[in-house]
Amino acid sequence: MATNTTSRTLALAAVGLMVAATTAACSGSSTGSSSTGSSSTGSSSTGSSSTGSSSTGSSSSTAATAAKTGVIAGIDYGPLVGLIGTWKSAPNGGVDVAPGQAGSKVGKGKPAVSPYYETITYTPAGGAVNASEQHLAALYYRQQVFAKSDNKQFHDQTGYLIYDKKDQKVYDTFCIPRGVCVVAEGAPGTTMTLKTQSKGVAETQYMLKTDRTEAFSVTFTLSGNTLKYEQTTDLQVYGKPFSHTDSSGTLEKTGG
């Protein structure tokens, strides 16, 4: 995945699970406080009834508003709002095609095919302003990828998906623990392709010399509670070019 990387798309979609869970947690705290009060008066129904009904209505209203507007706590996440939550591979999982290591079954530099499954979690990270003019909204994400062959994790990626409403751009900025960081960008949409531009890759001197990332691109497709991505990392490794690909298969939202 991007020198063994993976990332994720975007469309304005329901964020109800995430917002409902957050609001429910807050209202649960409030309800517990009411219950304590009503418990001391011996009237359990008095404290919980109106509080529960009020918070349920508030949750639904907040979720509906976020789904329509993309706004959470005053921050406009635009189409990224549909990604908030946890996504896991459907049973078929995905397929990684990377350059084989020395001593591997396929041999050094030959295509090594690895079926995998993964978990990706997107969390609202708030807003930022660049140079007084560019207003951004970001989702923090963590992606963990496991080989189906032995259930061992072979890829760990952390980054931010960032929305620029004014210029209608989305940026995928991420790092992997191989001494490589990437910035890819493109226009938002139900199907969205993000690509590295000039100076879009930062990597160690070792990687520059031996396993250089020339370019990265990822295409996301988001439809309700399903997400897919296809990505290609163009490498210069073992003295020759190699297109490292990852195809996610279907990811399903399991929590908000």
Delimit the domains of the chain by residue range.
1-256
Structure-block tokens of residue 114: 């690895």
Q: Give the helix/strand (H/E) hosting 172.
A: strand 169-176
pLDDT at 49: 42
> Which tokens go with 40?
């001391």
Place 70 in a pLDDT band, splitting at 50, 70 and 90.
confident
Among 81, 90, 165, 163, residue whose Cα is nearest residue 123:
81
Q: How many Cα atoms within 13 Å fall on the side-chain side of residue 241?
A: 6
Res 26: pLDDT: 36
**Do residues 139 and 77 touch, judged by C-beta distance below 8 A?**
yes
Assign domain 1-256 to its CATH superfamily: Calycin beta-barrel core domain (2.40.128.20)
**Tell me, what's the pLDDT at 69?**
73
12-56 confidence digits (pLDDT tens): 333 333 333 333 333 333 333 333 333 333 333 444 444 454 555
Residue pLDDT, tens place only, 134-182:
999 999 999 999 999 999 999 999 999 999 999 999 999 999 999 999 9
**Which is more confidently placed, 5 or 97?**
97
pTM of the model: 0.75
Q: What is the pLDDT of residue 73?
A: 82
Q: What is the mean pLDDT of the chain?
A: 82
